[in-house]
Amino acid sequence: MKRIVILGAGTAGIMMSNKLHKHLAGSEFELSVIEKEDTHYYQPGFLFLPFGHYKKKDIAKPVNELISKGAELIKKEADRIDAEGNEVLFKDGSSISYDILIIATGARIVPEDTPGLKGELWQKKIFDFYTIEGASALAEFFETWEGGRLVVNVADNPIKCPVAPIEFCFYALDCFRKRGIGNKMKITYVTPLSGAFTKPKASKMLGSLLEDNGIELVTDFFLGEVDNENMKIRDFGGREVEFDCLVTIPLHSGDPVISKSGLGDEFGFVKADKNTLQSVLFKNIFVIGDAGNYPVSKAGSVAHFQAEVLEKNIMSFIKNEPLKESFDGHSNCFIETGRGKGILIDFNYDTEPLPGTFPVPVLGPMKLLKESRINHWGKLAFKWIYWKILLPGRKMPISAHMSMAGKKTD
């Protein structure tokens, strides 16, 4: 028997295992999935957890229930990949050999890389919401918080889900208004970008929405250190922003396994071809989702569209055929803006988010780059879609490749 190994059972790894399993049943390939954690979290839910709108149990499921029975789930922690020897080596000294390796080790936050961030105020006045621990600690803090200066800061890019910090600002304001302490809140969004977002049209739209809501925007701010004593964040140039509560989106890195195996860039993201999703160093290694150094959002929607491309490319690779499918950088994100509304953006490597309707021209029903109630419902419905359609590897009625249909250009 030959073996395909998927390293990591996050969103990307689970989707891939369930897609591939369908093709491999009865073939000469067996499928193994390596994951050290027992629980998989629906990460978009981390946005709602701090405000008590989801509890931990609402967004958690055991990993073994999400992987199809035909794949072998190995609950072990990988230490490194021996790419020359086609083996994954585990921390316990054992190993597994592979014919094809799919790396899906994701991205993680590294608050320890910024001086003072994990200082005495960590999880007392300084919180992340990109981990279950951080989001839960913040929920507890917010329960009794009576308002003040809330600073939401992105340390530097790349980060997972680049719209989440902005959504957090809108959503926090909405929740605190409902609690009757909106007037005691001053929310500041501090970003290394030169605007609210990278792409011009979306940046302008989100920038004015921040302004309309009285959310202050501080740009070109690269976090250098956190001053716990004076409760300030400071950029490398010495600019300061004071906070009463700091919600940080810390620096991100790839899994330590990647750097240890010599497969990554300086931040530990795997160097791979942005179209074929194949490692640039080893032909039998592929990379999906946040683990890759792709010039694209680190987001579940991207992993989903990549999975459709990678499914076909892996099957071509098995048959010794050229890799025909090409990933175009398609991303699709709901942005929660509070008051029961949301924005939807749809874009790829070459096309920035544009206004229009989605997925059907004129009819929508979703509106692109515009606030609407149906977009908000789309976001809430997405949780069901995630568990029932995306993770099981079922087909969505949306193409992996971005479509210009319904989009308005200048």
Partner 1 sequence: MTQITYAGVTVDVNEEGYFTNPSQWTRDIAAEIAKEEGIVLTDQHYAIIDFLRSRHNNGEALSIRSINHSGIIDVKTFYQLFPGAPLKKATKIAGIPKPSSCI
Q: Does residue 222 bind partner 1 (CB under 8 A)?
A: yes
Rounded CA separation 274/223 (Å)? 29
Residue of 212, 266, 350, 410 that binds partner 1 (CB under 8 A): 266
Q: Does residue 265 bind partner 1 (CB under 8 A)?
A: yes
Residue of 64, 157, 316, 403 that binds partner 1 (CB under 8 A): 157
Q: What are phi and psi of 264, to 5 degrees?
A: -110, 175
Rounded CA separation 40/292 (Å)? 20
Helix (H, G, I), strand (E, B) or coil at 2: strand
Q: Does residue 251 bind partner 1 (CB under 8 A)?
A: yes
Rounded CA separation 55/67 (Å)? 23
Residue number, 12 or 251, with CB nearest to partner 1: 251
Residue pair 9/73 in contact by the 8 Å Cβ criterion: yes
Minimum gap (Å) between residue 274 Cβ and partner 1: 10
Residue pair 6/31 in contact by the 8 Å Cβ criterion: yes
Q: Does residue 162 bind partner 1 (CB under 8 A)?
A: yes
Residue pair 367/376 in contact by the 8 Å Cβ criterion: no
CA distances from 1 to 30, 143, 282 (A): 7, 55, 21
Window of 21-29, 75-83, 157-165, 390-398 that interacts with partner 1 by CB under 8 A: 157-165
Window of 81-89, 131-139, 150-158, 361-369 that interacts with partner 1 by CB under 8 A: 150-158
Q: Does residue 220 bind partner 1 (CB under 8 A)?
A: yes
Rounded CA separation 387/69 (Å)? 16
Residues in region 321-350 near partner 1 by CB under 8 A: 331
Window of 71-79, 94-102, 295-303, 373-381 that interacts with partner 1 by CB under 8 A: 295-303
Q: Does residue 177 bind partner 1 (CB under 8 A)?
A: no
Q: Does residue 199 bind partner 1 (CB under 8 A)?
A: yes
Task: Write down the H helix ranges in 151-264.
Answer: 164-178, 200-212, 256-260
Residues in region 49-108 near partner 1 by CB under 8 A: none
Q: Does residue 377 bind partner 1 (CB under 8 A)?
A: no
Minimum gap (Å) between residue 73 Cβ and partner 1: 32
Q: Does residue 240 bind partner 1 (CB under 8 A)?
A: no
CB proximity list for 37: less than 8 A, separation 6 or greater: 9, 63
Residues that bind partner 1 (CB under 8 A): 156-158, 162-163, 192-194, 197-199, 220, 222, 224, 236-238, 251, 265-267, 293-297, 331
